[in-house]
Amino acid sequence: MLDTTALNQQRNFFEGQAAIWLFGYGSLIWKADFTYLERRPAYIHHWERRFWQGSHDHRGTPEAPGRVATLIRSPGAVCHGMAYRITPEVLAPLDVREKNGYLREKVTLTFVDEKGSEPEQSEGLIYLASDDNPAFLGEAPLADIAQQIANAHGPSGPNKEYLLNLATALRELDAKDAHIFALEQHLSRL
C-alpha cells in the first residue's frame, strides 16, 4: 500500500491563502469530521464517481479490501457533492484520512444556488485516486462490486455503510448518480 501523505503535503496549490475550498464526492459529503468555515452543495464538470478504488485502511483490510469512490474523467458529465471552505491546516489530517492512493488535485467548483441566479464558481481541491495508484481496483460488473462491498469491513466500519450513506446523501442533495444507485440496488438484493 502506498501512503500518499507526504506527496500530498508537497501538492500545495493554494499556498498563502487563508482559506480554500475542498470538494467532497464520497464519504466527505456525509462524514465531515473536520472543522470548516462554510459548507455548500457544489458540482464539478467532466468527472463521474465510481467505486473503483480499493480501501485497505478504512472500509476493508489489506487481505480483503473494500471499495470506495474515486472519480474518472468523463466529458460532459457532472458530479455533485459538497464543498467545504477550510483553513490550510485542516489538510494535514485529511491527507492522512485519504492516504491510500488519493492525491490532491485542483478543480473548478460550481456552487448550487437558488434557481435563476448565475452559478458561482471557485477553484478548489479534490482528493483523486487515479488508475495508476496501487490501490486502484478498476471497473468490474456491478454485481461483483456490490458483493465485494457487502463482504468488506474495516476499521471505519462495514463497506456497505459507506455506499448506503453516500446514496442517502446524494438523494438529500437531489443529485442523480446512476452508478451509485445501481450499486445500492444490487446490494439490497444480497
pLDDT per residue as tens digits for the range 133-187: 999 999 999 999 999 999 999 999 999 999 999 999 999 999 999 999 999 999 9
> Is the residue at 190 inside a domain?
no
> Is the residue at 181 inside a domain?
yes
> Is the residue at 69 inside a domain?
yes
pTM, two decimal places: 0.92
**Burial tier of 140 (Cβ tally within 10 Å: 0-12, 13-18, 19+):** middle
- Looking at every residue in the chain, the average pLDDT score rounds to 94
* DSSP at 136: B
Kindly state the percentage of the chain with pLDDT values over 90. 87
CA gyration radius for the chain? 16
pLDDT (tens digit per residue) in 62-90: 999 999 999 999 999 999 999 999 999 99
Which candidate in 15, 48, 63, 98 is catalytic?
98
Residues whose CB falls within 8 Å of the CB of residue 129, separated by 6 or more in sequence, listed in order:
53, 70, 100, 101, 102, 103, 135, 136
CB 73 within 8 A of CB 166: no
- 15: domain range? 5-185
> Is the residue at 21 inside a domain?
yes
> Is the residue at 101 inside a domain?
yes
> Is the residue at 158 inside a domain?
yes
Residue 7 has pLDDT above 70, yes or no: yes
Residue 114 has pLDDT above 70, yes or no: no
pLDDT tier for residue 116 given thresholds of 50, 70 and 90: low
Residue 27, domain CATH? 3.10.490.10
Overall number of domains in the chain = 1
Residue 98 designated active-site: yes
